[in-house]
Amino acid sequence: MKIQILGTGCPKCKKLTQHAEEAVKALGLNAEIEKVTQISDIMKFGVMMTPALAVDGTVKSVGKLLSVEEIKGLLK
């Protein structure tokens, strides 16, 4: 599983990364977490607001700081 955090490095983007790491650990998943910070790469996903979260290349959330529980729900 590949989880991508789309954002330029703002505080919400960093917090979303932290929440994703906690969710993966809590669920005991083997997942790669990648930060996508280049605007051109973020736009390839069709995302215009950050932070955003994608799982295996599919955007699951845009413009929202998801909680650990919300991310766990997306990963199950």
The domains located in the chain, with CATH, are 2-75 (3.40.30.10)
Sign of the four-CA dihedral 39, 17, 27, 69: negative
Query: Known catalytic residue: 10?
Result: yes
Exactly one of 3, 5, 13, 23 is catalytic; name it.
13
Percent of the chain with pLDDT over 90: 97
Contact 49, 12 (CB under 8 A): no
Strands in the chain per DSSP E: 2-6, 32-36, 52-55, 58-62
Active site residue 28: no
- pTM for the model: 0.94
Q: From the candidates 1, 10, 27, 48, give the one annotated as an active-site residue.
A: 10
SS3 call for 30? coil
Express each pLDDT in 19-55 by its tens digit: 999 999 999 999 999 999 999 999 999 999 999 999 9
